[in-house]
Structure 1
Amino acid sequence: MSDNRSEECDFSTIDSLAKTLQLGISIPTFVLGLVLNTLALSMFCCFWKKQTKTSIYMINLALADVLLLLSLPLKLYYSVTEAPGLLCAFIESLYFVNMYGSIFIIVCITVDRYICIRHPFEGRANQSPKWAILICCLIWAIVWLCSSPMYAFHKNENLKCFHNMSEQAWSIPLIVSVEIFGFLIPLSAMVFCSVQNIFILLNQKSRGKKHEEDSGSLRVITINLVVFLVCFTPVHLGICLQCLVRQHVIEDCSLKQNISFFIQMSMIFANLNCCLDAIFYYFAVKEFLHRPSRQREMFQALPAAYGRSLVPRPWGTKF
């Protein structure tokens, strides 16, 4: 998304360094993330006979991560090799659709978790997967629809993808909309729900109602919020700074080079979320599958970690 067409600045050294680092980080991210998310999809779809609201969210999150990872080789190749504008638009929309799809689904999981902790009886009673399916379909429809202007953002017939978009792509109304609806609103919901969840669990601890699982729940909630901030804050800060460059607010050559390098690196950090999501799946499942003697407590504690039990109910067991 950097601008390499500047007549005043030379970006060749910056781009060369960025591409080297991208290859060094993106290849392990691609391999590890694809393996972990494919296993997670198999586990969610096949292991649990009865799907729940949270398992539906996680299937869609893993699917978004897999599709984003599959777009990485195309992104790496066509960011250094010229391609037709239509192909570039498709690759770019595929990449950003799955990134923002992941953001919205992560927020849905966090909000669902908050409802189950704040209102445990109502939360458990409202666990039909139908609402999750409807919400996920709505998310996919919105992000694909919002990606459609991408096909009008390239002026040249042949170009390097993620570079040299038209000025329309960097218009202030569009960037402000992306920042507000694509990041700031989801971030606000994420911070509010996570902080509330942490306060509620800590309050239970102070009252002597803490179970062993609550410590794991606190860790998962805190780490999930930190990972969200680390993965998605830099790329949206970079988009904002690059908009200032394209609007000629920032004119200094050295600063523009630094912004170009920063936004390319920040997209690498955003990609790391694909691996971290999959690791959280296994931590949560491992934590609760290894306590078969406390199934009732599991059902009560797992909403604190993911909003709903992912562990299948034994035949004849009622909670």
Structure 2
Amino acid sequence: MNNSVDYRPEPNLAYAVVFGSVMVLGLPLNAVSMWILLRRHSLKSSNAIFMVNLAISDLLLVISLPMRVYYYATGTWPLSSKACIYITMLFRNNIRSSSIFITFISVDRLLAVVYPLRSRHRRTASNAWKSVALVWLFVLVVNIPEGLELAKNLKSVNESICFEFNRQQWPQSAMSYLQLVLVVTLLTVNLVSTALVSCTLHRRLNDSAKVNNKVNVMLIFAMNLVMFTICFLPVSIGVLIIKRHEISLWYVLLL
């Protein structure tokens, strides 16, 4: 007995344009960032290692976008259901890995500014690589149950569909709650790090040359907080509160 949903997706150029724009902007920007980091820093500092892996995380997101553009431009999915799962996981992993790497960057700057001497032996390239390996291992472990859940739910739709599912057969998973807890926790760490670094710089820096350095340091923290408050947190909350009977651009972006 075939229980798949008899639904034929229609092309949606608006979705294709959104994902295409992200792809066109994200690919060169992240590629240039990686080139600069590798050329100037040669992965000898913990901060450079975290930033390179952040760029890799974003590039993996960009890799997942061409097939999304094709799907929404044509309304057809030419690949297998397994390919749909892999591409979906690449897309979803970006929030988890990027939020962790951004937090690592913030904590690394916190230690460098607030505890420069005591943290010197901790902020090594070796420790940074160990931390990065644990992050990617965590991401892969999370992918196992989530990938199985995606495979199960894909059976309820026909083979020409990807990224769209029957809301009534798509219950909120434990990963949706785990992701929100992860993002809120990491946002809290970033807020605390920003406050501590700001207070420390305010006490120590007085001359104009050092003020410029202070601005550069605080700019990093400001950009990190913007990423959390504009991108990571709204998406994580939206996964839980979105109404299942609505098909909107917001829902599609969350998948």
> What range is the shorter-chain TM-score in?
0.7 to 0.9
Equivalent in the alignment of 1:158: 159
Structure 1 residue 169: deviation in Å? 5.5
Superposed CA offset, 1:68-117 (max 9, x none): 11111122323542353222111111211233211111111111111222
Task: Tell me the TM-score normalized by structure 1.
Answer: 0.65
Equivalent in the alignment of 2:128: 132
The answer to whether the 8 Å contact 1:68/1:99 transfers is: no
Q: Please say if 1:106 is aligned against 2:99.
A: no
Equivalent in the alignment of 1:308: none
Structure 1 residue 209: deviation in Å? 10
Equivalent in the alignment of 1:237: 237
Structure 1 residue 239: deviation in Å? 0.1
Partner letter of residue 184 of structure 1? V
Give distance in 1, aligned partners of 2:61 and 2:117: 36
Partner letter of residue 81 of structure 2? G
The answer to whether the 8 Å contact 1:198/1:221 transfers is: no
Structure 1 residue 202: deviation in Å? 2.9
The answer to whether the 8 Å contact 1:107/1:190 transfers is: yes
Give distance in 2, aligned partners of 1:103 and 1:227: 8
Equivalent in the alignment of 1:147: 143
Q: Secondary structure at the match of 1:120?
A: coil
Superposed CA offset, 1:148-176 (max 9, x none): 22233222461422221687863353422
Q: Please say if 1:37 is aligned against 2:67.
A: no
Task: Show the 5 A alignment for 1:242-281.
Answer: 242=242, 245-246=243-244, 256-257=245-246, 260-264=248-252
Structure 1 residue 205: deviation in Å? 4.9
Report 1 or 2 for greater relative contact order, CA contacts < 8 Å, sequence distance ≥ 6: 1
Task: Show the 5 A alignment for 1:68-79.
Answer: 68-78=61-71
Structure 1 residue 207: deviation in Å? 10
Partner letter of residue 58 of structure 2? D
State the superposition RMSD in angstroms: 3.1
The answer to whether the 8 Å contact 2:194/2:218 transfers is: no
Partner letter of residue 25 of structure 1? V
Q: Secondary structure at the match of 2:248?
A: helix
Equivalent in the alignment of 2:89: 93
Q: 1:198 to 1:25 in 2, by over 3 A?
A: farther
Give distance in 2, aligned partners of 1:168 and 1:264: 16
Q: 1:240 to 1:166 in 2, by over 3 A?
A: closer
The count of aligned residue pairs is 242
Task: Show the 5 A alignment for 1:1-319.
Answer: 19-49=12-42, 51-78=44-71, 80-82=75-77, 83-149=79-145, 150-153=147-150, 154-156=154-156, 158-164=159-165, 170-171=171-172, 173-181=174-182, 183-205=183-205, 210-242=210-242, 245-246=243-244, 256-257=245-246, 260-264=248-252
Aligned-residue sequence identity (percent) comes to 23
Give distance in 2, aligned partners of 1:6 and 1:204: 66
Structure 1 residue 28: deviation in Å? 3.1
Most deviating of 205-214 and 45-54:
205-214
Q: Secondary structure at the match of 2:106?
A: helix
Partner letter of residue 248 of structure 2? S
Structure 1: stretches of 5+ with no match in the other structure: 247-255, 268-319
Structure 2: stretches of 5+ with no match in the other structure: none
Q: Secondary structure at the match of 1:124?
A: coil
Task: Tell me the TM-score normalized by structure 2.
Answer: 0.80
Give distance in 2, aligned partners of 1:214 and 1:178: 32
